[in-house]
Chain A
């Protein structure tokens, strides 16, 4: 049997810790120092991030390996329980490390131009530094408590960056929404921590993975036995708490990775600067939830996995539908992100840990590429704005025909779009294919209603292809609609391609969206990136908890590989062709697009307003909570405090009454006594005349009476 202390024992000193500290130090330095700089902020923090990217590259190359390198130490102790910290550098962490740093660096460079004229630029870069710092914490730590800590810090930096332009009310409201939705998810995360801590007395993932292998389900109870400080302990919880722990941790991912039902914060988060959307709300932070699921994969039992799969599929489909009808180019991309995150979560749910991570990696590049391309468009359009001419630079209704003006951006956008749509030759195809194959195998294994999940996954393929092609057509083809809308005809001439600072990051990201970057064109299994995360270091669900054996599942999946690929390519092509036909220049919908307003048809409304989820939350749930709080405040002030005041007032009344009693009755009695004795005194005084004869007379009379009394 295992001794917990041994599992948590700090390792011997390893110089790796310096590298890790350096990784944290540079972004943090950026956070603290850029605020002091003015125009140099962008150069300085890009430089720091550049160093960090080099370090992460070096670490990735040095520590690349299957088992991963871990580092442990003690944070603090309480009552014999060790709260430790631990790092794990396995392949997944190393890839994430490089991706986070690299995309962050690209975004830093891109922002140098994008934010050039913003006075609050130092603050912007400081927040980016804080974000990178927090994100690296999630990636590197292998202890759930630390992951949770950095998880919340990521939420904070996201809040700060969404609300960056705080003078806009919509921006600060969106920031609040993001933070609170994430917090709701974090309640689940925290509950998960409570369950795991109660069972294992530690939150170290390495130790938990080990002890999960030792734990059993006996008679519906979740039992684990180990030595803690030399004493044998047997921890027994109801077996349902195991599922609960998995689902609770997943709640955290639901918040951060924008899954149903908390996903509504992500589209609003587009209020932040576009490079931020690319970094945080597309490539890295929102993927943290999926990454976390991969870290706790060992804890997810059959019930939890089922919930995860269903939520993922629902999210993927709902968001894809919502992306169909948006006017705002960033909203299209935001819903697309939600939908793709749904895919990743679905992959986790069907047990395809590696496919989910793979899609996370490929998505990071092509989605960041899409967002930054959109950023160029927005930035260049913003340059056309002047005192007299104001318009919404993100609205696709003012765009159109940008292919001529922004050719390189157009090329990059199309490459990334095709990757998103999932055509062979692009990275998105590889990872999406892997997810679809696994989903299929899972549905076959489970049968019955679970085919619906597969159906949703495939339906999302065609919707994805359609909405992204719609965006491409509306933005880049046809005629430029802005001159007509603003009435300034020469405005089109002023629109130019973005400069090199803007283009280089986008071109790099577009190149990384091609499948050759990952060493394969058709089969995900042969991609080096996929292989790297294929065998998670002991992170497989112990077969005793998982209902579906993963090995058998993959075997059955292999047989259907070819025709599944054909179907998904066919669906993607169908979506693309449909969009091409409907929105081609001259087509009815494309021509009428500039005059389009918010939809009235209920079906389109469902898409445009994202299934009315937002309305439900603000009008029903939020309103309910606010009414409750007002009622409670009223109760507190009027009833509870009213009782206290009433009590006090009763006291005062009673005091007055006793006062009156005291004055009129008690005091009255005293007065009466005084009065009586006074009267008696007067009476007796009247006897005392001062006349000696009278005294003698009365004395004799008394004497006689005394004698008489004695005699008888």
Chain B
């Protein structure tokens, strides 16, 4: 059971998606149950996975020894004659960099399924697409073969496109196409680098077996692997025997790059007059920055959020954005640590800028969903700032921030959805004094807002604190970003307090007033189903705010391995 745990987590929703698609229309009421059960199963298995995860495993994140729950089989390989072999693995595994993301994905997708309960039209399509989306999101976080990762990554687009485009709001087509095209541009950048990497990286184990340095793949020892690497470096292995690889863990190890290949560290190759490695790093960075999103690639986000139905907004903000951050950590930073260091100033600056820019934009919004969307831009800026710091605190903070933002933004979009469900209107100016009419809802909103503005006691604070400490330390520790950046970025905290408290004051305090009196009758306080979503989310937000060790223990060894990679590259 446990050896294929990750596969189960990914494929249960996929199977459920097929089941939903094949069930006849008269069983339409069971679709949502199937979705909830399937994602509930995935969630349980993810929790099992996290509890089995051994947080004592140490090591650099470019060695497979630091991975756990590995599933690795050759998917297909093609002999390209003198160009060597082309091999793609079905390679899954977790380490500290993705285990928290897997857990978050399972949580948010499950909550999203509950919040899809009230979807009325075209239920078959909706739930099978939702399950398909879930499967590819989960796959994306555990896939460690770049080809497989890319497959999952691209496969997310299709269901997302339809989910926004069919079940969305008034401008759904525009939003869906915008989302699709934006992400596609990012995907193309990633694809280009992927091809470049494939040309440069080989799999030492398979190559060794091919070249006859050792008997079979399973018998390879680490000495033999380094023997292969030396032989390849010396050019003693003929090019037919070289097995090209998409292994993301190998890609992070510079020993696995073919000598003088396009993207190897010694390569003199240039693209647009710059080092090819720098350009490849930038391409990956931008590809994932679109997903994150960071200024100036964020303009798809407000539209997609505003038009998407509530559960899709929840998934979008809660999980999809995190693929951007995770992708940067796993690919751009890991593969090209030297370039990461080279561009750290720029990354840090854009992080800092996103924090303030997003917050200022949020301050000006009239639609509460748009406000939350811009606050996401602001909060994702912390991820960039923390990553750019290249310190343990900074990177842990970035991951923590992603995890916590996943929970908090899910809560925020559910909160906005509650109001929209009742009145079909999200404009802040149309409401006043809602606290009188909806006291329980007001409590939930206040908790969500305070959690999002980084109040201690909630998970958001830990992430932001770590990012600040790590970013400030960076200058004297590794010299990646200057000290003024985190100091300036603290302004984001005041601005976020500003827009949230102002919204609370305008919508919830004062005299009770609703612009369209007809909507008054619909304004009922929270229902049981809504409590089912809010209570666990808020409980987790508070838990991870008070016991950060729960998550940090899982990730800290891998983060240390990751930052050591950076330090080695700088030296």
Q: Which A residues are within 8 Å of any B CB, using their own CB?
A: 75-81, 145, 148-150, 152-153, 156, 159, 163, 166-169, 171-173, 175-176, 179-180, 183-184, 186-187, 190-191, 193-195, 197-198, 235-237, 625-626, 628-630, 632-633, 636, 640-641, 644, 648
Contacts and interface: CB of A to CB of B under 8 A. Distances in A.
Contacts of B556: 77-79
A540 B456 CA distance: 30
B494 A81 contact: no
A326 B559 CA distance: 58
B433 interface: yes
Interface stretch (B42-50, B248-256, B328-336, B360-368): B360-368
B361 A633 contact: yes
A236 B548 CA distance: 30
Main secondary structure, interface of A, reads helix
A193 B469 contact: yes
Interface stretch (B30-38, B99-107, B496-504, B526-534): B496-504
Contacts of B493: 183, 186-187, 190
B268 interface: no
Contacts of A81: 392-393
A421 to B, nearest CB: 38
Contact of B396 (A79, A172, A183): A79
B196 interface: no
Contacts of B363: 625-626, 629
Contacts of B299: 636, 640-641, 644
Contacts of A237: 476
Nearest to A241: B483
A629 B360 contact: yes
Interface of B: 178, 181-182, 296, 299-300, 357, 360-361, 363-365, 392-393, 396, 433, 435-436, 450, 455-457, 461, 465-466, 468-469, 471-473, 476-477, 486-487, 490-491, 493-494, 497-498, 501-502, 504-505, 508-511, 547-549, 552-553, 556, 559-560, 563
A106 to B, nearest CB: 27
A682 to B, nearest CB: 49
A169 B510 contact: yes
Given A78-B396, A79-B392, A172-B505, A191 B553 contact: no
A236 B473 CA distance: 11
B549 A75 contact: yes
A194 B472 contact: yes
A184 B494 contact: yes
A450 B185 CA distance: 64
A76 B181 contact: no
25 contacts: A75-B548, A76-B548, A77-B553, A78-B396, A78-B556, A79-B563, A81-B393, A149-B456, A152-B461, A153-B455, A159-B501, A172-B504, A176-B501, A176-B502, A186-B493, A187-B493, A190-B493, A193-B465, A193-B468, A193-B469, A194-B471, A197-B472, A633-B365, A636-B299, A641-B299
A427 B479 CA distance: 54
A190 B364 contact: no
A633 B472 contact: no
Which of B392, B473, B511: most chain A CB closer than 10 A? B473
Contacts of B494: 180, 183-184, 187
A179 B472 contact: no
A636 B435 CA distance: 32
A152 B455 contact: yes
A169 B559 contact: no
A648 B181 contact: yes
Given A78-B393, A633-B364, 12 more contacts: A78-B392, A167-B433, A167-B511, A176-B502, A180-B501, A183-B497, A187-B491, A193-B465, A194-B472, A197-B469, A198-B469, A632-B360
A180 B491 CA distance: 11
B399 to A, nearest CB: 11
A166 B509 contact: yes
Contacts of B559: 78-79
Contact of A195 (B181, B435, B472, B563): B472
Contact of B435 (A152, A166, A648): A166
B403 to A, nearest CB: 14
A648 B181 CA distance: 9
A156 B450 contact: yes
A641 to B, nearest CB: 4
Given A79-B396, A176-B505, A640-B299, A153 B456 contact: yes
